[in-house]
Structure 1
Amino acid sequence: MPREAEISLVERDFIQKALEEGVRLDGRDFNAFRPVELTFGDEFGVADVQLGKTRVIVRVSVDVAVPPPERKFDGVFQIITEFSPMASPAFEVGRPTDAEVILSRVLEKAIRRSNALDTESLCIIAGLKCFALRADVHVVDHDGGLIDASCIAVMAALQHFRRPDVIVEGEKAIVLSAREREPIPLSILHQPLSVTFSYYEEGNIFLVDADLAEEQVRQGEIIVTMNRHGEICQINKYGGAPVDPLDLLNLNNIALQKVKDMSKFIQQKLDEDAKRRDAGGLMAELSAENAR
């Protein structure tokens, strides 16, 4: 099975000694993210996130389906992850790696199980028809920070997506096209985002958003998922080194500030995209000349 190219012992020692002296190879502060870029596609529900050299593209799609018997008043929402072989030599189609399994589990708990999306709003006719929403996560380039980048991309795509409107007549539902009626944004209850901390030297050093080289050197990681209100959705710890409870509280405070900043960033990009889409609509209407 293909494996990720491991760094040499010399590189490993160099990174560890640099961290002991308070220096990261790219010059960032220990609590700093790499530059984040967020762009939206021409279609609603397509988000492209670049976190340093890591790139994740999420596409949200919708279809009409039958709701599960045990949840007749809910819609269906699922998150599918796909690792492209061009992103890393360790990824192979049909053979999920540990990174892919962890990413799927974290996204499932952070977004779907935390009820970030109001699935009841996806119900069309109770027990008969509902909207089935699907978020496809495509990892295009991998240089560390996959979970944080994927969480940003999924939440941005969900907020950007618009579902078609429907007309219900008895047990018959008519799905309207975008030309017939303007699509409707999803009902988002809260916006969970994750912050990954990598720890070194038995938990004495913590880094935010480690790149691939730093991830290969770390002893473990702590993934904190919360929304901008400080409500914790989940905390995951991988690795054998113990972590002091006071350090964990400090990490939560750092994560809260990062989540607040990232939430503002996502909203700013959504507003910019909305203005861009409306430029040919409202502005053109206001500048139109009177036919008389």
Structure 2
Amino acid sequence: MEQRLANSWRLTANEKKFIESALLSELRVDGRGPLDYRKLNIKFGKDDGSVEVQLGETRVMSYVSAQLVQPYRDRPNEGTLSIFTEFSPMADPSFEPGRPGESAVELGRIIDRGLRESRAIDTESLCILSAKLVWAIRVDIHILDNAGNLVDAANIAALASLLTFRRPECSLGGEDGQQVVVHPPEVREPLPLIIHHLPVAVTFGYFSNENLVVLDPTYHEEAVMTGRMTATLNANGDVCAIQKPGGQEISQRVIMHCLRLAHVKAGDMTAKIKDAVEKHNTERALQKIKRHSSSVAVDVCGTTARLGGKQNQSDGDKEGSRLDQLKLKDETKAMECDATSSAQVQSNKKDESLKNFIGGPSSWDPYSECVNSDLLKASLASRGQSTPSKQKESRRETKPEEPQKEIKIDSAPMDTALTSEQSNEGKTLKDAVKPKHKRKKKGSSNNGN
């Protein structure tokens, strides 16, 4: 990789001398110290397991996918993990399209060795049916922009994508219990991978002077340096893998010093990755779309009603949804019973009011529209006569005894009678009606004679 980069950049002797003299003064071209990392930025995509990492100006994208395959014969209860890298000429003119070159193969092997040999991922949890079906996890790494130290950027992208990946949940069914059913995300929540620790790759660059050691070299420094070493460690200080692809020889003292530095940097990188993943998971949980169920039939007081509601179909919320349905049933029953009881109370009150009705001027009585009920009661009390209710009852009793005759009342006498009642406030309704009956009776007797 270094030879191809050196040939592509073809730095002049003055540029190489300037970079080496700056490093002797513990300065770098971009202003960092010899043991400082560039700014790290992690962006997560919409799909699970899609991550873009930017380390300085180096940009790498990683995507994780899974499929059901047959396991290896020597490991029938373990899934598989594979790393694939793609170098595009868009990232660097020295990269050739088509078949992956030596640099792409080397990058994939470094990341694969750090993840698989350290057993960071629990492959036994990927087994669905022993010796028949297991999950095969595939990590695709795409180089978008090469600005130096592709190993560290690609390793961080692979770890972040594995942490955010979710595989579908499977269950066994059928008559013999050997039929595998893959549940979609709408039915059951996908499951994350079981990751025991995070092996972080830390790359060091060496120069002609053995005392010159830099961390996270840029593409200009990679063209000048004479050796490189990548140490993969976790936050506990366990060495997962070491890769030194030839070049300048280094002493054991320098290697141990680099491993101590790598332990500190691995702890810092692990904390940054976990913080970014936790923040992403929190945002994903807040933006998660709640799934709705169809309408549920609920029996309320012997009648069936269709109630549409929102219900989460996940296994973790099934008990809560059942409790909500029971509460809804109780509330609807109570509301229905209250409604029926209130209707019965209102009907009883209405019946009682009808039974206790005594009588009095009403809207349908033409003689009571212009009669003041208060003055009528006062006049009756002064004369010592009975109330209109009693008079009406007596009239009702005596009415069947008299022969029924047609009574025709003209509008003019009615108006005169009403005006006379308004002038004579002491007269009652009975007094106002009697003269009319007498006149009619007299008229009928004269006609008979």
Question: Does the alignment reach a TM-score above 0.5?
Answer: yes
Q: Is the 8 A contact 1:202 1:219 kept in 2?
A: no
Task: Assess, with a 3 A threshold, how the Cα gap between structure 1 residues 93 and 281 changes in structure 2: closer, same or farther.
Answer: closer
1:288 alignment partner in structure 2: none
2:102 alignment partner in structure 1: 98
Q: How do 1:25-36 and structure 2 match up within 5 A?
A: 25-36=29-40
Q: 1:125 aligns with which of 113, 126, 129?
A: 129
2:275 alignment partner in structure 1: 268
Higher relative contact order, structure no. (Cα contacts within 8 Å, ≥ 6 residues apart): 1
Q: Specify the code of the residue in structure 1 equivalent to 2:244.
A: K
1:162 alignment partner in structure 2: 166
2:41 alignment partner in structure 1: 37
Instruction: State the 1:167 CA deviation.
Output: 1.0
CA distance in 2, matches of 1:105, 1:279: 37
CA distance in 1, matches of 2:28, 2:145: 22
Structure 1 residues not aligned, in runs of 5+? 286-290
Q: Is the 8 A contact 2:37 2:216 kept in 1?
A: yes
Q: Tell me if 1:23 matches 2:27.
A: yes
Q: Which range moves more in the overlay, 251-260 or 2-11?
A: 2-11
2:89 alignment partner in structure 1: 85
SS at match of 1:4: helix
2:151 alignment partner in structure 1: 147
- What do residues 77-106 of structure 1 show as CA deviations (whole Å, max 9, x unaligned)? 111111111000111122433321221221
Q: Specify the code of the residue in structure 2 equivalent to 1:262.
A: M
Instruction: State the 1:113 CA deviation.
Output: 2.4
Q: Tell me if 1:205 matches 2:212.
A: yes
Instruction: State the 1:156 CA deviation.
Output: 0.7
CA distance in 2, matches of 1:267, 1:190: 11
Question: Which has the larger strand fraction?
Answer: 1
Instruction: State the 1:202 CA deviation.
Output: 3.4
2:381 alignment partner in structure 1: none
Instruction: State the 1:281 CA deviation.
Output: 4.7
Question: Which has the larger helix fraction?
Answer: 2
Q: Is the 8 A contact 1:76 1:119 kept in 2?
A: yes
CA distance in 1, matches of 2:151, 2:141: 11
Report the RMSD for the aligned CA atoms in angstroms. 2.1
What TM-score results when the alignment is normalised by the length of structure 2? 0.61
Q: Is the 8 A contact 1:57 1:139 kept in 2?
A: yes
CA distance in 1, matches of 2:287, 2:89: 39
Q: Tell me if 1:59 matches 2:63.
A: yes
Q: Tell me if 1:72 matches 2:72.
A: no
Instruction: State the 1:237 CA deviation.
Output: 1.7
Structure 2 residues not aligned, in runs of 5+? 291-309, 311-327, 332-449
1:178 alignment partner in structure 2: 185
SS at match of 2:245: strand
Q: Specify the code of the residue in structure 1 equivalent to 2:190.
A: P
Q: Is the 8 A contact 1:4 1:88 kept in 2?
A: no
CA distance in 2, matches of 1:31, 1:92: 32
CA distance in 2, matches of 1:240, 1:77: 30
- What do residues 110-169 of structure 1 show as CA deviations (whole Å, max 9, x unaligned)? 112221111111100001111111000001110111000011010111011011101112
Instruction: State the 1:278 CA deviation.
Output: 1.6
- What do residues 215-250 of structure 1 show as CA deviations (whole Å, max 9, x unaligned)? 110010111101111000111223432222122111
- What do residues 175-231 of structure 1 show as CA deviations (whole Å, max 9, x unaligned)? 111110111110112210110000113321100000000011001011110111100
| Count of residues in Structure 1 that have an aligned counterpart in Structure 2 | 287
CA distance in 1, matches of 2:132, 2:285: 36
